[in-house]
């Protein structure tokens, strides 16, 4: 029986990067193939987009996946779904030409200098990418129904790179998509800058924003070592404000993440400080655990047992405390 594969990101995802469109923000399991996760070049409105070309590339990959061929940059990814020829009528919409997942990553401007940052090479060289005027692209996506809420009312917009809340038009980005009918957002933030817009949307019942703050420490000292800025108290204060807003909407969509970095924050003592802080002081109802990507890739996904034990410990503490819990990308693929 022929194995068939699919990935909804390949079919309907659009990652808006510094200088191009990509299919998604992942490729974490095949780092040597990351640059092949590429659709067309794009650096702003001067680049006219041939959407037939964009979807032609996507349809070609969808067809190859149905014939059992997984693109090299997708190998090992946990989002790949497997099915077989007995269910060949499934997922026919994968060939429909629309986008229902957008990742905004056209800028890596940030107010921290995290040691695990995806953009560490640019930051080390002091070549921060400030991004281009992205609104003409958004208008085109919405007006032409390329970003199609009729095809998928659960379509969502994610902020994928840098620190989104310091973008000059962060509020306007939220507003333009809400005005267009979008109800779902995901925001990945370091929490240093307090965003009134984020607080307001967290409290709304008609729009859902999943806010993920990477705190990664339970103490000021470890936080400074990871983030390279002395803003631990500011982040904790902001988390508490966001947590209060999130309680007005059920379920809470504010998550605080701990990325385990071996030899930096991988002790039970630091993890306990983080857990106790989040649960008892900041009153967070949703916690997340992951493993630092560069280390994970360098070690070919081979994770020591003590790190797995720490991940299991975080999960068990959340179960015991009746806290919602989730493993993210690297931790997720371990199937703990």
Got the DSSP string for 80-104? -EEEEGGGTTTTGGGGS--B-EEEE
Model pLDDT, residue 126: 44
CA 267 to chain centre: 25
User: How many Å apart are CA 186 and CA 183, to the nearest integer?
Assistant: 11
Where are the domains positioned within the chain? 3-91, 101-332
Provide the CATH number for the domain formed by 101-332 in this structure. 3.20.20.70
What is the end-to-end Cα distance of the chain in Å, rounded? 30
Pairing, β 20-22 against β 156-159: unpaired
Q: How far apart are CA 137 and CA 135, in angstroms?
A: 5
pLDDT of residue 88: 57
How many C-alpha atoms does 18 have within 13 Å on its Cβ side? 13
Below-50 pLDDT ranges, the chain: 126
The pLDDT, as a whole number, for residue 80 is 87
- What is the pLDDT, as a whole number, of residue 89? 63
What is the full DSSP assignment across 17-82?
-SSEEES-S--TT-GGGGGGS--EE--STTS---HHHHHHHHHHHHHHHHTT---GGGTT-TT-EE
pLDDT at res. 123: 52
Q: How far is CA 296 from CA 31, 116, 147, 300, 304, in A?
A: 11, 11, 33, 6, 11
Query: For the chain, how many helices (H) and strands (E)?
Result: 12, 12
Contacts of 300 (CB under 8 A, 6+ apart): none
Is the sign of the CA dihedral 147, 151, 156, 162 positive or negative? negative
The closest of 164, 37, 60 to 110, measured between CA atoms, is: 164
Buried (b) or exposed (e) across 283-299, using 16+ Cβ within 10 A? ebbbbbbbbbbebbbee
List Cα–Cα distances, 84 to 7, 60, 74, 93, 282, in angstroms. Answer: 14, 19, 19, 17, 47
**How far from 291 is each of 30, 295, 335, CA to CA, in Å?**
16, 8, 13
Number of neighbours of residue 126 by Cβ within 10 angstroms: 6
């Amino acid at each position: 029986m022929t194995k068939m594969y699919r990935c909804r990101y390949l079919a309907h995802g659009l990652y808006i990067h510094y200088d191009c469109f990509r299919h998604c923000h992942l490729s974490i399991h095949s780092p040597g193939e990351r640059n092949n996760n590429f659709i067309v070049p794009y650096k702003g409105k001067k680049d006219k987009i041939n959407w037939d070309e964009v979807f032609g590339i996507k349809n070609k990959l969808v067809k190859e996946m149905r014939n059992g061929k997984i693109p090299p940059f997708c190998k090992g990814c946990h989002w790949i779904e497997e099915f077989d020829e007995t269910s060949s009528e499934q997922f026919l919409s994968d060939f429909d030409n629309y986008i229902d997942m957008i990742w905004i990553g056209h800028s890596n401007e940030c107010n921290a200098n995290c040691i695990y940052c995806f953009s560490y090479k640019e930051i080390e060289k002091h070549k921060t990418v400030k991004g281009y005027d992205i609104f003409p692209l958004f208008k085109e996506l919405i007006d032409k129904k390329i970003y199609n809420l009729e095809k998928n009312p659960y379509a969502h917009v994610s902020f994928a790179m840098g620190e989104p809340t310091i973008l000059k038009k962060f509020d306007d980005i939220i507003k333009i998509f809400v005005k267009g009918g979008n109800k779902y957002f995901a925001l990945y933030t370091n929490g240093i800058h307090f965003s009134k817009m984020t607080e307001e949307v967290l409290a709304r019942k008609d729009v859902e924003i999943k806010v993920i703050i990477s705190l990664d420490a339970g103490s000021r000292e470890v936080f400074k070592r990871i983030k390279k800025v002395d803003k631990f108290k500011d982040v904790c204060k902001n988390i508490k404000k966001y947590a209060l807003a999130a309680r007005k909407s059920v379920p809470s969509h504010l998550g605080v993440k701990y990325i385990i970095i071996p030899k930096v924050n991988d002790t039970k003592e630091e993890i306990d400080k983080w857990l106790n802080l989040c649960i008892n002081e900041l009153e967070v109802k949703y916690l997340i655990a992951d493993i630092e990507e560069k280390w994970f890739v360098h070690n070919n996904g081979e994770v020591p047992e003590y790190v797995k034990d720490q991940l299991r410990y975080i999960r068990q503490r959340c179960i015991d405390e009746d806290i919602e819990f989730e493993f993210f990308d690297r931790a997720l693929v371990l199937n703990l």
